[in-house]
Amino acid sequence: MTTNSTGADMPGPGQPAPGFRLGGSGEDLPGAEDRISLDSLRGAPAILAFYPADWSPVCGDQMSLYQLVWPEFARYQAALLGVSVDGVWCHRAFADSRGIRYPLLSDFEPKGEVSRAYGVYDPVAGTSRRALFLIDDEGVVAWNHLSPDEVNPGADGILSALEQLHGKRQLVG
């Protein structure tokens, strides 16, 4: 049996990214019933950032940091999506308090279903692990990265992977 402690179950480069359709917080999800699906993101790269929980007690936690880096990701026309098992209202309160405007998706019901599909669910803690996926224009995983739960991976890996994915394609802006 494989475990996901080494990320062995994570879809890797060249493999199709598992589909999802989730609600949450953010400018693109104005109503509690609104959803974002992976299919709707086709045609541009997408960054999926799984993380254990809202409200981690540090300054500049991973999701707040990504709000500040969002303009850099946007130069590659990349969509940025945070994912945790927190509920929609929790995400909204957290996003409001940190000024996070990109979507935080709620992998809440069935709990952790999308995190499990990506091989990054921790069944002991009952939360998503800290993992990054870069998905290309056609819904294929281009890069992934699993961090120890206590180590915020920052944004340098994502930017480097985005740069390589785009190669010499002209940047926007």
Partner 1 sequence: MAMTTPLQVTTGRLSVPVTDDDHLRGPLAAPVTLLEYGDYQCPYCAEAHTAVRGLLEQRPDTVRFVFRHFPLTNVHQYAELAAETVEAAACRDRFWQMHDWLFEHQKQFNPGYVRVASEQLGLPPDAIDREVNEHLYLDRIQRDFAGGIRSGVNGTPTFYVNDVRQDGGYTLPELIAAVDAAVG
Contact footprint for partner 1 (CB under 8 A): 12-14, 58-62, 64-65, 67-69, 72, 98-100, 134, 136, 138, 140, 142-143, 145, 148, 150-157, 159-161, 164-165
- In a 13 Å sphere around the CA of 102, the CA atoms on its Cβ side amount to 22
Closest to partner 1 by CB, 31 vs 148, is 148
Shortest Å, Cβ 98 to partner 1: 6
The strand pairing partners of 48, in sequence order, are: 81, 133
Q: Which residues contact 45 (CB under 8 A, 6 or more apart)?
A: 76, 77, 78, 79, 134, 135, 136, 137, 142, 162, 165, 166
Shortest Å, Cβ 3 to partner 1: 22
Cβ atoms 133, 33 nearer than 8 A: no
Closest to partner 1 by CB, 22 vs 100, is 100
Closest to partner 1 by CB, 151 vs 172, is 151
Shortest Å, Cβ 23 to partner 1: 23
Q: Which residues contact 164 (CB under 8 A, 6 or more apart)?
A: none
Using alpha carbons, select from 79, 80, 77, 76 the residue that is nearest to residue 66: 80
Shortest Å, Cβ 110 to partner 1: 29
Shortest Å, Cβ 100 to partner 1: 8
Closest to partner 1 by CB, 87 vs 153, is 153
Closest to partner 1 by CB, 22 vs 38, is 38
Place of tokens 């209202």: 89
